[in-house]
Structure 1
Amino acid sequence: MVADLISNHGWRWPQDWIDKCQVFNIIPLPNLDANSIDIVRWRDLKGIMSEFSVWKLVRHLATMEIMQPVLHDIITYLQPMAHKRTTKSIFGKLILAASSYYVWLERNNRLFKKSKRSPEELRDVIMVTVRLKLLSFHFKNSANVNSLLAHWKMPSLFRLYGS
């Protein structure tokens, strides 16, 4: 968070950052409101700030509707199941990985190629990517698996094994 880099009314940049980029010393301090939560905002080419959260559009697909678009909270939620092979953990990890990758790619495209996709377009490419990856998995035939696959509108003849 930006607040973590401010101390005693001044920046507290890591020394190796300052050594590599002196411009950090001239960035003006933002006015922070301690009563507000940090949110990710994007500035478009016209300088207009807007909220940009693909997570809000994809979190229901991982049945993680309660998770706010805060990376720390998402990681904290997924970390205990990181090594598990439950459908919920697989779906959650795939969605987080695809979301992270495509938001990073979108950032680079906006910065370097001056191209831009809408949050809905990013949601769609994330969903397609996750669906394609899911095709390579073999899932146990259970009510939980069938529910998640139906939620994702996956074919009923999906790769299921067992009874």
Structure 2
Amino acid sequence: MIQWQHGVTGSMNQMCCLLCYADIETHDHLFFQCNYSRSVWHGVRNKVDMNSVQESWDEISSWLVQRAKSKAIYAVGSRLLVAAAAYTIWNERNSRFFSNKLRPLEKIVEIIINMVRTKLISFKYKQTSNVKRFLEEWKLNKEDLLED
């Protein structure tokens, strides 16, 4: 994902971003510069305290690398969220390309949040104020997920 070699072949219609129809589809555009993807990012980043992280690969990857080994709840959540967002945006792009199916932005945000929430349910958490706040923000039942 770091390097995306996009050769100029085929028609311009096949090179156009299928999410916003405003620019050529490159890695940076599709995931970070596209108005649709940017709006998705703005719709989910607050769930993991990434409000200050701008929608660029350099900013997001730098933020994640600094917390790569952290087991803190917000660091784990941010890794899950970025992965889910990238997967879901790519999936939406492919759905539009191969099936001509378009989903509204709000649905994509909902899918990402539900995907991360589903993964978060599989973990056990230490009882800390940060964890309790995080679980409340994600609307997860604390009693079932906190260690005794």
When normalised by structure 1's length, the TM-score is 0.69
- 2:20 is the counterpart of 1:42: yes
Secondary structure (helix, strand or coil) at the match of 1:85 reads coil
Structure 2: gaps spanning 5 or more residues: 13-18, 23-33
Cα distance in 2 between the residues matched to 1:158 and 1:59: 25
1:11 alignment partner in structure 2? none
1:3 alignment partner in structure 2? none
Cα distance in 1 between the residues matched to 2:114 and 2:72: 21
Secondary structure (helix, strand or coil) at the match of 2:123 reads coil
Task: Tell me the C-alpha RMSD between the 2 structures.
Answer: 2.3
2:26 alignment partner in structure 1? none
1:138 alignment partner in structure 2? 124
2:35 alignment partner in structure 1? 51
2:63 alignment partner in structure 1? 77
Cα distance in 1 between the residues matched to 2:114 and 2:8: 42
Secondary structure (helix, strand or coil) at the match of 1:94 reads helix
Between Structure 1 and Structure 2, the one with more helix by share is 2
Comparing both chains, which one has the higher relative contact order based on Cα–Cα distances under 8 Å and sequence gaps of 6 or more? 2
Task: List structure 1 segments (4+ residues) > 2 angstroms apart after TM superposition.
Answer: 21-24
Contact 2:85–2:112 at 8 Å: present in 1 too? yes
Cα distance in 1 between the residues matched to 2:61 and 2:146: 28
2:109 alignment partner in structure 1? 123
Structure 1: gaps spanning 5 or more residues: 1-13, 28-40, 45-49
Deviations for 1:58-91, whole angstroms, at most 9, x for unmatched residues?
Answer: 0000111111222221111111111221101110
Which letter maps to 1:43?
Y
Cα distance in 1 between the residues matched to 2:103 and 2:146: 35
Instruction: Give the greater-gyration-radius structure (CA).
Output: 1
Which letter maps to 1:51?
N
